[in-house]
Amino acid sequence: MTTPPDPQPAVEPKSSPLRVIIVDDAPSTRRLLKAVIDCVPSLEVVDEADSGRTAIESAERLRPDVVLLDLSLPDIDGALVLPELLRVAPGVRIVILSHTSRSAGPELVVAGATGFIDKGLTPYALVDQLSTVLGVPLTIATTLPQP
C-alpha cells in the first residue's frame, strides 16, 4: 500500500502593489517621493503629473489605487482637482501632500480625500504616515534616501 503524498501547503497569491500617481509641480519633490516609494515593495509609482490637468488625464487612463496630490499646482488648485480625480477614477484613495495648507486638511477629507500628510516629513516618517492614512502596513525594503 502506498502512502499518499503530503498535501501541499496552500499558496496564497501574491498581492499586487498599490498603484500610485504622484502629483506635484516640483520635479525635485516628485523625484524624492518616487525614490521613497520605490523602497516600499507594496507600492508602485505608475505615473507622475506636474499639473492638475495632467493628473486627471493620468488617473482616468491608469485608474490608480492611490494619488499623492499636492495642493499648489500651476493650472488648477489641488482642492479642485480632488473631486475630478474621484469622478474619473472611482475608488481611488487621494492623499493630500502639502505643507502650506494644513488647515484645509479636515475640509478636504470631508470632500473625499483619504487623508493629509505634511510634505516636511523625513522619508521614514512619510512612509509611516502613508501607512496610517491608507490603513495598510507598508514595509521598507531598502534604505530610504536622506533629505
Whether the pLDDT of residue 129 is over 70: the answer is yes
Positive/negative CA dihedral, 15, 136, 17, 35 = negative
97-123 b/e with 16+ CB inside 10 Å = b?
bbeebeebbeebeeeebbbbbebebeb
- Whether residue 86 is contained in a domain is answered as yes
Identify whether 77 is part of a domain. Answer: yes
- pLDDT, tens digit (0-9, with 9 covering 90-100), for 88-105: 999 999 999 887 655 666
Q: Cell digits for 79?
A: 482642492
Q: Pick from 93, 85, 99: which is nearest to 29 by CA?
A: 99
111: containing domain: 18-134
**Of 18 and 123, the one with more pLDDT:** 18
Mean pLDDT of the chain: 85
130 occurs within a structural domain: yes
Select the more confidently predicted residue: 110 or 57: 57
Q: What pLDDT sits at residue 108?
A: 76
Q: What is the pTM of this model?
A: 0.84
Q: Residue 145 carries which side chain, given as an amino acid letter? A: P
Give φ, ψ of 142 to 5 degrees.
-135, 180
Rounded to whole angstroms, how far apart are CA atoms 83 and 94?
Answer: 10
Q: Work out how many domains the chain is built from and give that number.
A: 1
Over the stretch 35-71, which tens digit does the pLDDT of each residue have? 999 999 999 999 999 999 999 999 999 999 999 999 8
Give the pLDDT confidence score for residue 101 in this predicted structure. Answer: 55
Task: Residue 131: name the closest of 104, 105, 103, 93 by CA.
Answer: 93
Return the SS3 of 99. Answer: coil
CATH of the domain at 70: 3.40.50.2300
Residue 87, pLDDT > 50, answer: yes
Does residue 12 lie in a domain region? no
Q: Are 117 and 92 in contact (CB under 8 A)?
A: no
